[in-house]
Chains A and B, each alone.
Chain A
């Protein structure tokens, strides 16, 4: 059956609670041939359908080489995501995909990788970080910058700690408004670029988070001499079809579902500063 319009049937084979409102669902196609044929790249997404609830675009966070496949980290923020997070193990879930562009993991080989994220946990870059951690020797230094508003917005503390313990990997956490127990940095992510050395000629940047943050972060990195061609961003827009038919995800001349979600900065630049585009 054509998976671009009607979903295929998958099953929740594992369910892991990340935080109070965030769950990771591991999905497996019930049809073994679909399972074997499924290929994706870090940064791509699936349209995940909860029976009778609806469908949402969810980034794939598992490793493309992992035979178990298809982990989706979902934050319960609306009727569909909330319903998906409540599904028990064994429940059937519809799935279409994979869709969209992916992180330049091949191009990044042998280079330093700068990850910039913000807001309430950003699944698209988690896929890239996981990919690198599984192939740690293939990549140079990894610097992860993560900014949130307040300490309580910091999710995945454990995960950041684990990454920090990986060789040649640095994690920089910052908040806009610290509390008394906060022991990391204070201020917007961009401030960190002035304190941490980024080698513009060796680094590739992957960014995902609130657009305001990315706007400033991109400017900051450009000011450090990082070329536009070395900065990649993952964008989010409303999506219904994921194949360029429904029109919802238009971003200037681009469709985020098929031209994105991962876009190189030089392509985004003419549009990136236009408000309410």
Chain B
């Protein structure tokens, strides 16, 4: 481990840009902390934090100048690895001939700055979907393999965080090139750097700082331990698949359906939700057509529509149950992982504050009380 200061971190970012990476990191925009292109640490939300609760997100000033003193916002890295809208191919018709023109793979190489442990797990979950099945998504593969990742171990837990329950954080365990722990203490403002790959090690040589002393390591460990103790939420994850498989008919689904607006916000902010639909587009000549893929949500009626019976999941209850049961149960059978990483976004960004941890608890408690 090494210890660097802010100017050294800027030199690392500069080196990444020199190597051709497009830097994506947290920025302050529209009253939230959103991912966008950054150039230097000056673009980061310095001295800001946020308050997160069910259906609540509010920026707040910090008493210090921390660069990473907040939890996750509504964006996740899937915005870049699995873009919300992208063209799949074009078709051209000419004199009765038809040609399909595949979309060239993205040549952009992203460097993700300040990826949190929960989000690294979310990337691993989407890798499972798009790279590790029988069919590989070449577009995802191109974006993913090019990406450089600088992780940040969380220095404070958000009000809706439950990564500890899901075993995904707050310390980044894998899936990064470099991982930073930010130390802001009195006059001290430093970053303890852990190397996660050879590529990361090479980059760190550009601006190596000093070797971490025993007390630096201890300080870094204390910070994540402290964060782990202050999770805003908890979820008992053991046996959750079996719990939900036993309870497809639980009355709680009616209860949550009475609150759910089926707006799909939870699916948009979820870093693992991967569902998409396609739009067929034609131009005025009638000889050119395109297919565009865009994020879709299992909360819409169209999602499960088939001719004849119509939407398979026409009730709100069935759609919420599909989403939550997929996240926490069927995902295990499909991909040998949990689809939930404990980031808490679905709780924060739900307009009516539906809380997945609370919904699980309600079902679990009813079993405990024999109800």
Is A236 an interface residue, CB under 8 A from the partner? Answer: yes
Is A138 an interface residue, CB under 8 A from the partner? Answer: no
Minimum distance in angstroms from B100 CB to a CB of chain A: 5
Which residues of chain B have C-beta atoms less than 8 A from A34's C-beta? none
Which residues of chain A have C-beta atoms less than 8 A from B199's C-beta? none
Which residues of chain A have C-beta atoms less than 8 A from B91's C-beta? 51-52, 94
Which residues of chain B have C-beta atoms less than 8 A from A237's C-beta? 304, 306, 312
Is A32 an interface residue, CB under 8 A from the partner? Answer: no
User: Are A92 and B133 touching (Cβ within 8 A)?
Assistant: no
Is B40 an interface residue, CB under 8 A from the partner? Answer: no
The interface bits of chain A over 262-277 (1 if a CB of B lies within 8 angstroms of the residue's CB, else 0) are: 0000000010001111
Closest to B317 in A: A276
User: Are B274 and A5 touching (Cβ within 8 A)?
Assistant: no
Minimum distance in angstroms from B163 CB to a CB of chain A: 24
Is A150 an interface residue, CB under 8 A from the partner? Answer: no
User: Are B286 and A52 touching (Cβ within 8 A)?
Assistant: yes
User: Are B100 and A6 touching (Cβ within 8 A)?
Assistant: yes
Q: Which of B277, B289, B329, B332 contacts A52 (CB 8 A)?
A: B289
Closest to A8 in B: B100
User: Are A245 and B276 touching (Cβ within 8 A)?
Assistant: yes
Q: How many A-B residue pairs have CB under 8 A?
A: 120
Beyond A52-B286, A238-B304, A240-B277, whether A253 also contacts B333 by CB under 8 A is yes
User: Measured between alpha carbons, how far is A246 from B101 in the docked complex, in Å?
Assistant: 21
Which residues of chain A have C-beta atoms less than 8 A from B30's C-beta? none
User: Are A253 and B100 touching (Cβ within 8 A)?
Assistant: no
Chain A 219-277 residues near chain B, CB threshold 8 A: 236-238, 240-241, 243-248, 250, 252-253, 255, 258, 270, 274-277
User: Are A247 and B275 touching (Cβ within 8 A)?
Assistant: yes
Is A2 an interface residue, CB under 8 A from the partner? Answer: yes
User: Measured between alpha carbons, how far is A211 from B309 in the docked complex, in Å?
Assistant: 9
Is A54 an interface residue, CB under 8 A from the partner? Answer: yes
User: Are A238 and B306 touching (Cβ within 8 A)?
Assistant: yes
Which residues of chain B have C-beta atoms less than 8 A from A2's C-beta? 102, 138
User: Are B306 and A240 touching (Cβ within 8 A)?
Assistant: no
Minimum distance in angstroms from B120 CB to a CB of chain A: 21
User: Measured between alpha carbons, how far is A108 from B166 in the docked complex, in Å?
Assistant: 46
User: Measured between alpha carbons, how far is A98 from B309 in the docked complex, in Å?
Assistant: 25
Is A90 an interface residue, CB under 8 A from the partner? Answer: yes
User: Are B278 and A240 touching (Cβ within 8 A)?
Assistant: yes
Q: Which of A1, A94, A250, A270 contacts B102 (CB 8 A)?
A: A1
Minimum distance in angstroms from B14 CB to a CB of chain A: 37
Is B322 an interface residue, CB under 8 A from the partner? Answer: yes
Beyond A6-B89, A237-B306, whether A245 also contacts B274 by CB under 8 A is yes
Closest to B281 in A: A52
Is B282 an interface residue, CB under 8 A from the partner? Answer: yes
Which residues of chain A have C-beta atoms less than 8 A from B357's C-beta? none
User: Measured between alpha carbons, how far is A2 from B136 in the docked complex, in Å?
Assistant: 11
User: Are A246 and B98 touching (Cβ within 8 A)?
Assistant: no
Which residues of chain A have C-beta atoms less than 8 A from B278's C-beta? 54-55, 240-241, 246
Minimum distance in angstroms from A214 CB to a CB of chain B: 12
The interface bits of chain A over 1-21 (1 if a CB of B lies within 8 angstroms of the residue's CB, else 0) are: 110111111000000000000
Residues of chain B touching chain A, judged by Cβ–Cβ distance below 8 Å, are 88-89, 91, 93, 96-102, 129-130, 133-135, 137-138, 245, 248-249, 274-278, 280, 282, 286, 289, 291, 296, 298, 302-309, 312-315, 317-318, 322, 326, 329-330, 332-334
In the complex, 25 of the A-B residue pairs with CB atoms within 8 angstroms, ordered by the A residue number, are A1-B100, A1-B102, A6-B88, A6-B89, A6-B101, A7-B100, A9-B98, A54-B280, A55-B278, A238-B304, A238-B312, A243-B135, A245-B137, A245-B276, A248-B275, A248-B303, A252-B330, A258-B134, A274-B248, A276-B313, A276-B314, A276-B317, A277-B248, A277-B313, A277-B322
Residues of chain A touching chain B, judged by Cβ–Cβ distance below 8 Å, are 1-2, 4-9, 51-55, 77-78, 90, 92, 94, 119-120, 210-211, 236-238, 240-241, 243-248, 250, 252-253, 255, 258, 270, 274-277
List of 6 A-B pairs having minimum Cβ-Cβ separation, nearest first: A247-B275, A276-B318, A253-B333, A92-B98, A52-B282, A6-B89
